[in-house]
Amino acid sequence: MRIELPPEPVHFVNRHAERERALRAVEDWQGRSRPLVMSLSGPAGLGKSELAYVIARTVRDRYPDGVLSVDLDDFRLDGVLDPGDVLAQLLQSLNVEVGLVARPFKARCKQYWSMTADLKLVLIVDNVRYASELVPLLPASGASLVIVASHGPLYDLEDGAAIGMPLQPLTEQAATELLDLIVRDDRLATDPAAVRALIGLCDGLPTALHVAGRWIRSHRLRPLPRLIDQLRGEWGEKGVPGVERVWDAAYGALSDAAACLYRLLPHHPGATFTSESATALLGLGPDACEEALEELDRAGVLDLRAGGGRMRLPGPLHAHALRSSHRAAAAGEAEEARVRVLRWYVRQAQRADLLAAGPRLVVTDRTAPLPDAPDVPLSDAAAQGTTWLFAERHTLFACVRLAHALGMDAEAVALSEPLWTYALDHPGRGEVVDALKLSRDAAVRHGGSAAWLVRTRCQLARQLWESGEHAAAADELDAASSAARLLGGTETERKLAASVAEFHGMLKSAQGNWAEAARDFEACRDMHRAVPNPYGVMLQTYRMGEAQARLGATDAAQRLLTEAHDAARAQQRERMTRRTGFALAGVLSGLGRRAEARHLYEESLEGAQARGSGFDEARVRDALADLAEADGRPAEAAEHRQAADDIRRRNGLATGE
- Per DSSP, the residues of 407-425 read T-HHHHHHHHHHHHHHHHH
- Look at residue 281 and tell me if it is in a domain: yes
Q: Are residues 157 and 287 in the same domain?
A: no
- Residue 159, pLDDT score: 52
Q: Are residues 189 and 159 in the same domain?
A: no
Q: Are residues 152 and 52 in the same domain?
A: yes
Q: Are residues 53 and 38 in the same domain?
A: yes
Q: Are residues 52 and 159 in the same domain?
A: yes
**554 in Cβ contact with 591 (< 8 Å):** yes
Q: Are residues 7 and 156 in the same domain?
A: yes
**447 in Cβ contact with 473 (< 8 Å):** no
Give yes or no for a cis peptide into 532 (omega within 30° of 0): yes
- Residue 103, pLDDT score: 81
- Residue 310, pLDDT score: 82
**541 in Cβ contact with 503 (< 8 Å):** no
Sequential DSSP letters for 41-70: E--TTS-HHHHHHHHHHHHGGG-TTEEEEE
Tell how many helices (H) and how many strands (E) occur in the chain: 30, 11
- Which class for 222: exposed (0-12), middle (13-18), buried (19 or more C-beta within 10 A)? middle
pLDDT tens profile 80-102? 788 888 898 899 899 888 778 88
Q: Are residues 128 and 161 in the same domain?
A: yes
- Look at residue 102 and tell me if it is in a domain: yes
For residue 278, give the CATH number of its domain.
1.10.10.10
- Residue 333, pLDDT score: 95
- Residue 552, pLDDT score: 95
- Residue 153, pLDDT score: 77
- Residue 600, pLDDT score: 95
pLDDT tens profile 397-423? 999 999 999 999 999 999 999 999 988
- pTM, whole model, 2 decimals? 0.68
CA distance 266 to 262: 8
Q: Are residues 119 and 31 in the same domain?
A: yes
CA-to-CA separations, 269 to 266, 272, 344, 405, 488, in angstroms, rounded: 8, 9, 12, 12, 36
- Of 299, 329, 359, the residue at which a domain comes to its end is 329
Q: Are residues 197 and 224 in the same domain?
A: yes
- Of 166, 190, 214, the residue at which a domain comes to its end is 166
Intervals of the chain under pLDDT 70:
1, 9-10, 31, 77-79, 155-156, 158-162, 218, 241-243, 245-246, 249, 300, 303-308, 315, 427-428, 650-657
Q: Are residues 78 and 157 in the same domain?
A: yes
**201 in Cβ contact with 211 (< 8 Å):** no
- Domain containing 101 equals 2-166
- Look at residue 418 and tell me if it is in a domain: no
Q: Are residues 48 and 178 in the same domain?
A: no
- Look at residue 303 and tell me if it is in a domain: yes
**Residues written for the chain:** 657
351: nearest Cα among 330, 331, 373, 369: 369
- Look at residue 297 and tell me if it is in a domain: yes
- Residue 160, pLDDT score: 44
Amino acid at 528: H
Q: Are residues 288 and 267 in the same domain?
A: yes
Q: What's the total number of domains in the chain?
A: 3
